[in-house]
Structures are given as structure tokens and as C-alpha cells.
Structure 1
């Protein structure tokens, strides 16, 4: 807001200087035309200032890369509660007598990136569906991969009865990088002193710049990233390294007699294009006797707009979170009690 104040003060100074210059002109068309131009410039500037204020104060919208001012404002407004472990969840608590605990383990999809109310996430929806006697804990952070998830699961202070691994297709990232299969994603940040100043300090300029960037280099970079990601899954060396990461999760659960359910989430902007990746992961878990819930066949005919948070955030929207909660509930719900006499 300080930088907007500088703009206002600059506008006042320009008006004072222009008014003084216009007052020196003889009365006539020149002065009238000059006054008209000054009024037009002031009206445009005032409109931009009002729009800047509205965007800076009220516009909060998540984006998938968290590059924009509006996304940072979204996090300030909605990313809560955050517990002492850094998760978007309530504080861990000891198990109550007879209570069953489900751990939702994952990255930004499990944490609810783009979902304003954490109660609308699939983990919270599952908790409501399971009802009394169940507790669902959220162990997830943005940017995590399978190694991060294993470490967090093993370190959590309460041992769960069920682990729901929310697997997204970029979880192979670390294994790919270690195997020399680069999955870097280049983003072109503002160039030039003036452009960088405007984009870094003004919400309106920031909004316009990153929207234009998405129609240019970001879209190209994204397409290249997904091509390389498909290549990583097709690479036997890379997938073997990734399988070793997943083996640690499977083994940890088996040693403790914890049920593991793998919820596989494809690229929501190109479900069909990531189907081969989710199929390979489904095959891996199936070979190890792990329950697999692959979203791909359920949503392959859906358009991205029906699945994602918004046009710049391709995480799951509230509706898709509800679908995932229903899918998990059907997998985890206790068997119905037989009717008397049956």
C-alpha cells in the first residue's frame, strides 16, 4: 500500500504542475484542450487506483504455482488451522478408547490447496461420512514427494489404523532427478527494473503479468514438464528407484498391520494424458496387495473446468474432493450389520 501512496502523491504533484502550466497559457482552445486531457488522465488514473485498491484488499485466488499476490493473500486468509507439526490440521491427540484413526498422507492435494474451507477437503469429508468412533488426521504439505511422505508418516506421534496415500503423478520427482531424468520447470520472472517493480508491488500489474505469462511461456513450460514426466514413468531405471521409495511406505504399514489404501490422482488438466502414469502406479500397488482407488476412470471424460479449483489452479475443487471422500468411504466403511434372522 505504501507504493500506491507514492503513486497518489505523484499524481497530485503532476496535477499541481500541470495546473500551474495550464494557468500560464492564454485563455482559448489550448488551455481548454489541456484541461480536458488532464481530466481524462486523472479519471483513468483514479479508476486504476480504485481497481488496484480492490484487488489488493479483497481479491484472493489460489494459483497452482503460488506465484501471484492474490495467491499469497489466499494463503493468508484460508491456510488455517496450522498445527505445531506444520500441517493444515488440528493438533495431534492421543487415541481415545476404541477410536480408529485414518491418516490422510500426501502433498498439496491432501492438504487442500485451493480449497477455502478445510472442511471441504476429501479427508474431512471422509471423517464426516465415517462418523463417531473414527478420526481422520491430515499429514500433508505442499511440494512433498514419496520420501517426504514416508518420513512424516513414520514420525507422526499417533500410529494410525489406516493410511490413505493420496498419490499424485509428480510424486516420482525425486527418483527421476536422482536418476538423471530432469523434471525442472522453468518460470520466466519479470525482466527489467520497471516491470519487476510494478509486478512486485502492485496487485493489478501482478495479475496482468502472470495471466499473460500463462498464455505464453508458462503453458509451454508446463507442456514440456508433462512430456518429461511421462518419460520418467516409462523409464525402467527411474520407476525402479521410485518403487523403492514406495516400498518403504508399504513395508512400514505392513510391519504395523496398518491398512494402506492408495488414492491415485491424475493430472486434472489432462486426465487421459496421465492415464498411463496412474496405471503403472496402480499396477505397482496391485502387485503388492495394496488397495487401489484410481480416480482416472471416474473422471476421464470430465473437462478440466469441472475438476479444478480455477483457471490458474489445477488442484481438485470442492466437488472432486467430495467424489474422493465418497470413494474412500465406500472402501473404508465397516460392513453393515446383518438384519436379525439373517
Structure 2
């Protein structure tokens, strides 16, 4: 807001100088000048009101969290955050015969774009499972399979069921380690003036990133997804990623913890990400891991009906409720007999 105050002071000074200059004119020149100044002042006043309104009240999540409106959204909605850094209440021991479901994942599990944490699939699942069940979260934005494995091992309460919320970019670290980079380069403002405006003023920030999505963001996204599909087809990358998944599967199996994988495709292109979710589904089948694969469930449905908004392709409230229902049926069904340690990993 300090930058906006400086603009207001500068405009007030400029307006005063303009008035002084006009006072030295006579006749039509003065009248015309005053009319022009009033028109300019009216436009500037409208812009200032819009700027103030957007800066204070406009909060909208975006998938990359690069806009001021997204930062406003996080300030407003990203709570509670517990001592482990998760968007959840504090962990506590199981009470008596209570069964704990631990949702492990990235931004989809944490509820990116979901205003109220109680509308996430994990929280909805907890209510639908009913008495005797509790659902907790070990999920953070940007996590991949290695992060999720470490969080699972470090969680202070041993769960009865682990729901691994798997999104198709979870292969990212395995690709990087296999010298198969997955670049996603977004072009930020280049000139000092443009950078200053976009970084400090809500209207400029909104306009720049909306226009940028038509060009550089969409191009970067398209290139990233093409490269990501290639990563799943690369035998070296997949072997490294399968080893990451093996660590979670083996940890749960050694402790007799039921593991259910929730496979989430790209909601902006379900068909385009189908080969990736199919590979993970085949892995799960080979290792005897139960899987809830959303790809066939969402096939043919419009992206706009699934996502938070036009700039945030995380699952919306309706899809979170749907995921909760699918998981409830999976959890309450008899557990599948796990494959032995030597089962193939695709």
C-alpha cells in the first residue's frame, strides 16, 4: 500500500501544478484545459478505486501462485497450519479403537484453491467414514514422491490406512536425477518499470498475468506436459520413479498399513495424461496396491466442471466431494490381498 500512497501523492502534486498552470491561462484555453484535467482526474480516480479494491478484496487462487490475488487468497484461506507445517489441526494419538487415515500428497491433497479445508476430499472422507475413523493430512504444495515418503515416515502417529494422493508430476525428482529435466520457464516482466508495476500494483499484476497466459504461460505449460509424458515412457526415469514408489509400498507393507493410491490426472487434459496414470495404475496392480484411478471416471468431462477456476486447475469442491466418495467405498470394502515382495513393478 505504500507504493499506492506514493502514486496518490505524486498525482496530487501533478494536479496542483496543472491547476497552477491553468490559472495563468484565459478564455477558451483555460476552460478547455480545466475540462481536460477534470476528465483525466475522473479516469485516475476510477483507476485508484479499482486498484484499492483489488489490492484489498480480490482474492483468487492460481495454479502457480504467482499473482497478487493468489497471495491474497493464501493469506485469507490457508489455515489452520499445524506445528508440522501442514494445513491441518495438530496431530494427536488414536483414541481407543479409532482408526486413522493419513492423506499424503501435494497441493491436491492440501486443498490448493479450496477456501475451506473442510471441503477437501480428506476432510469430507473423514465425515463420510463416520464414528471410529479420523482423517489427517501430511501434504504440502510442490511435494513429489520422495517428499511424501519422508513425511509418511516422520508422521508422529502410525496410521491404519494411507491414502497416497498421486498427481502425474510426482515423477519430477526421478526425472531430474535421471538427467531428464522437466523445465517450466515462465517469462516474468523484463524491464525495470514493468517489473515495478507488476510487482506492486494489483491492476497491473492482474492484467500482465492474464495476458501472459495467452502466450508464454500456455507455451511453457504445453512444453512441460509434452516432456512429462516422455519422462513416463523413458525406461531409466521410470525405473528411478518406481524405486521411489517402492519405498512407500514397502514401508506400509512392513507395518501392515493399508495403502490406497488415488491417481489424479491433469484436470486440464485428462485424455492427454491418461498414458501417465495408466503406467502408475499398472505399477499398482503389479505391486498389489489398491488404486482409485480418476482417469476413467473423469474421461469426457469438461475441464471447467472439474477445476477451481480458469487459472487454477486443481480440483474444485465438487470433485473433492466425488473423490471422497470413491475413497470411502474403497476403504470400507474388504482390503485386496497384497502381492508379495517379488511382484513385478512394471
TM normalised by structure 1 equals 0.97
Task: Tell me the equivalent position of 1:238.
Answer: 237
Task: Give the length in aligned residue pairs.
Answer: 334
Structure 1 position 149 matched with structure 2 position 127 = no
Q: How big is the shift at 1:17?
A: 0.5
SS in 2 for 1:123: helix
Q: In the alignment, which residue of structure 1 is the partner of 2:44?
A: 45
The residue aligned with 2:342 is none
Answering whether residue 22 of structure 2 is matched by residue 22 of structure 1, we say yes
Give 1:25 deviation, angstroms.
Answer: 0.8
Q: TM-score, normalised by structure 2?
A: 0.96
In 1, the alpha carbon distance for the partners of 2:8 and 2:185 equals 36
Change (3 A) 1:239 1:197: same
Q: How does 1:1-342 map to 2 (within 5 A)?
A: 1-26=1-26, 28-333=27-332
Return the alpha-carbon distance in structure 1 between the equivalents of residues 70 and 24 of structure 2: 49
Report the secondary structure of 1:103's partner residue: strand
Secondary structure (helix, strand or coil) at the match of 1:215 reads helix
CA–CA separation in structure 2 for the residues paired with 1:302 and 1:44: 43
Gaps of 5+ in 1: 336-342
Q: Secondary structure at the match of 2:43?
A: helix
CA distance in 1, matches of 2:41, 2:320: 47
Q: SS at 2:114's partner residue?
A: coil
Paired with 2:202 and 2:301, the residues of 1 have a C-alpha distance of 33
RMSD between aligned residues: 0.8
| CA–CA separation in structure 1 for the residues paired with 2:304 and 2:197 | 31
CA deviation map 1:57-87 (0-9, x unaligned) = 1000111110011111111100000000000
Q: Which digits, 9 at most, give the CA deviation of each residue in 1:123-143, with x for residues without a partner?
A: 000000001110100110000
Whole-angstrom distance in 2 between the partners of 1:156 and 1:325: 22
CA distance in structure 1 between the partners assigned to 2:10 and 2:39 by the alignment = 16
Segments of 5+ residues of structure 2 without an aligned counterpart are 335-346
Deviation of residue 334 (structure 1)?
Answer: 6.0
Paired with 1:82 and 1:5, the residues of 2 have a C-alpha distance of 33
**1:333 Cα offset (Å):** 2.1
Residue 15 of structure 1 deviates from its aligned partner by 1.1
Distance 1:161 1:9 in 2: 61
Q: Give the Cα–Cα distance (whole angstroms) in 2 for the partners of residues 29 and 224 of structure 1.
A: 60
- CA deviations on 1:4-46 (whole Å, 9 max, x unpaired) are 11111111111110111111012x2211111111011100000
Q: Any idea what SS the aligned residue of 1:101 has?
A: strand
| CA–CA separation in structure 2 for the residues paired with 1:280 and 1:33 | 71
Distance (whole Å) between structure 1 residues aligned to residue 200 and residue 247 of structure 2? 45
Q: Which moved more, 1:326-335 or 1:262-271?
A: 326-335
Aligned equivalents of 2:284 and 2:96: distance in 1? Answer: 32
**Cα distance in 2 between the residues matched to 1:158 and 1:152:** 11
Tell me, what secondary structure is at the counterpart of 1:177?
A: helix
How far apart, CA to CA, are the structure 2 residues paired with 1:45 and 1:3?
Answer: 16
CA distance in structure 2 between the aligned counterparts of 1:232 and 1:144, rounded to whole angstroms: 18
Structure 2 equivalent of residue 338 of structure 1 = none
